[in-house]
Structure 1
Amino acid sequence: MDKNIKLYIDMDGCIAKWNSEASIEETFEPGYFAGLEPEENLITAVKLLSEEYDVSILSAVYQDNHSIGDKLAWLKNNGLGYLEIIFVPYGESKQKYIDHEYTSILIDDYSKNLEEWVMSKNCFGIKFLNGINATKGQWTGFMVSGKMNSQALFTTINGIVKEIAAA
């Protein structure tokens, strides 16, 4: 396991398919996050990546809401409960919650998160194209598609990580 690299995986819109038709009010309802469909191919790739790298889940949560319990249940039900989980208060920058001692790579579907992430020392981003976010072409860095199968996702992400590590 490469101890100098840390992978952070976003939940909503990445390993958990975001319901773009849900209203903001619906996302505050108990059970909303626990009921999101899994992005099976990325989940399988994350499990494979966790055999080679230190992998954590990094996810925004609403305050005074059920989202933490929902997300913990979702991770457990989808076989990822063994990973370190870092919850970030909604609206705060994810990079404020990580250890900058390591090369840190975020896989996220939201360009704003990635743009903030790469402003920090030793931080790199990989955009997960899910068909919802990524329609404006703002992110010009590394990308992987949700249409890829699990082996292709693993191979591509692993190749990107190795490229970053070699730089």
Structure 2
Amino acid sequence: MPFCTNCGTAVGDRVAFCQNCGRPQPVTAVPPAADPLNGISGETASTLCYIPWVGWIVSLVVLSTNRFRGDGLVRFHAFQGMYLAVAWMIVDIALEPSLRISGISRSIVPLLKLGIVGTWVFMLIRTNAKQLVRLPVIGEMAERSVNEQGNGWKT
């Protein structure tokens, strides 16, 4: 329990003024929030970006924290994992309903979804083995996104 800086009377933790003498009390600083990725290596963060259906959340966290701001390789994997999730959403939300109208949704959409899940698992395994794989279209977009942020990174 803190004490008044003027008269020495015990005051509460969050009291702005002393109850005895009325003097203002110094405000204690709130400790900064801990970095959620503090104990995670770059390789682990890169691998987590490819977890099917939830890797996009890890990608957003990696891209929004300062921990990996200068690490172009981790940011590349974060963008590539996020773009894979966007591809899944395009197939699931936009392509499936439009193909359902034409009647060919039953054969094509499950194959596309299986391909995306297979790519997620493939990238999860390759990234965990520390092998860089640049996917044809998505990899180019991810590299461009990293370079637009000023990291000057090349695969």
User: When you count helix as a share of all residues, which structure comes out higher?
Assistant: 2
Larger Rg: 2
TM-score, scaled to structure 1: 0.25
